[in-house]
Chain A
Amino acid sequence: MPEAHMPIWEVFIRARSGLAHRHAGSVHAPDAEMALQAARDTYTRRGEGLSIWVVPSSAITASDPQDKDSLFEPTADKIYRHPTFYEVPDEVGHM
């Protein structure tokens, strides 16, 4: 069955100029050029985008959900990284 060799590509679309490309979904295609065409047909039938990226799914390295706490939890108690942590008198005005 040919589909067995049809790689999966992740599709990212820039909706408007000035915005970042955002993940839209995935497509199957034999190579990058055809993946771009398939992505265009599948994900931009109503003017959803100005630019498309396709990336082989196999090229993505994802963090493990089990590591979520050790990766992201430590930032929760570092409130001094936020501007509201610091006191500036009202008379100083907006800073």
Chain B
Amino acid sequence: MYTQALNQKDSGPQGTQGLVEDPERLARFEARVAAEDKIEPNDWMPEAYRRTLTRQISQHAHSEIVGMLPEGNWITRAPSLRRKAALLAKVQDEGGHGLYLYAAAETLGTSREQLVEQLLSGKAKYSSIFNYPTLTWADIGAIGWLVDGAAIMNQIPLCRTSFGPYARAMIRICKEESFHQRQGYEIMLTLCRGTEQQKAMAQDALNRWWWPSLMMFGPPDAESSHTDQSMRWKIKRFTNDALRQQFVDATVPQGHYLGLTFPDPALRFNEETKHWEFGEIDWEEFRQVLAGNGPCNRERMEARRRAHDEGAWVREAALAHAAKRKARRAATPKLAAE
């Protein structure tokens, strides 16, 4: 999910902001990228490219990890064994996606430990969407359908991103992710075919998740000054607004099929452009959520920190176990010597 990190200002480590790259190497790099050649970890790359990608990939990883929380909230209360198994598998996938992405980010020279530290200290961000609460079971349907749907829109172009390890991780993630969206839509469909109350629950979830899902694509192009370089370096392939429109066009008919209405009185189909036009997004809400003032920011960070602290003994035990096993093996006389 989630290219929101590409909208952040690049604030390199002290002293590197003004770094002037060797123009010859830079030109060669830019030519390679322009020719659709992939950049691999050992290749020369401009510092700003390395920083932008480290930030983007690690925050994408953080989003996957924090994204486990709102859905994990419903695993024990899933309405059937089928739903529970699917949700468990989905949340496990998010954990796996986080790991692929940390591994891709590490190839740029920052350790996973440092990246996780940046999340826990609040220095690194994660997608704004996970700061909203999951109040009812219908929210699990809405997240799969809308949030994973938006994530897929964002992630499919990332499969062709210029940095090899990121592109390869994204291919694997996209393959796994389509089940996420389908299971979400199926939950919505089941609710919409159920009782009046169940349908109302689905409608309520759509009402609450629609606008935050549109915000996932980031600020409008006019305000996103960092898009240009990311596009030139082929980190990003489409602008925020283009992807958002693609998402709206794909999703609105799916919602109408469910018999639901979208919480946007301005939503209408333009016969000429063949696009769904939508109303003004509340960017102040988006800024507030990014600034840490969303409904669940504090709770999410607390849960992550607690999980990290309470898991410390597992990491220590694993290391102790490995050391013990190694010592025992060293003490055992070799078979050949007997």
A interface, CB within 8 angstroms of B: 1-6, 8, 25-31, 33-34, 41-42, 45-46, 62, 64-66
Contacts and interface: CB of A to CB of B under 8 A. Distances in A.
B113 A3 contact: yes
Nearest to A30: B322
A64 B99 contact: no
A31 B111 contact: no
A31 B321 CA distance: 9
B189 to A, nearest CB: 24
Among B40, B176, B322, max chain A CB count under 10 A is at B322
Interface residues on B, range: 20 to 34
Interface stretch (B141-149, B244-252, B312-320): B312-320
B182 to A, nearest CB: 15
Contacts of A8: 103, 106
A38 B180 CA distance: 23
Contacts of B117: 1
B113 A65 contact: no
Given A5-B319, A27-B103, A45 B112 contact: no
B111 A3 contact: yes
Nearest to B314: A2
A31 B322 contact: yes
A2 B322 CA distance: 13
A20 B67 CA distance: 35
B103 A26 contact: yes
B241 interface: no
A26 B96 CA distance: 12
Contact of A4 (B93, B111, B169, B318): B111
B116 interface: yes
B113 A4 contact: yes
A33 B96 CA distance: 19
Contact of A34 (B42, B93, B111, B322): B322
A34 B318 contact: yes
Contact of B326 (A25, A31, A46, A62): A31
B298 interface: no
A27 B96 CA distance: 11
A65 B40 contact: yes
B67 to A, nearest CB: 17
B315 A31 contact: no
Contacts of A4: 111, 113
Contacts of A2: 312, 315-316, 319
Interface in B203-235: none
A29 B323 CA distance: 12
B130 interface: no
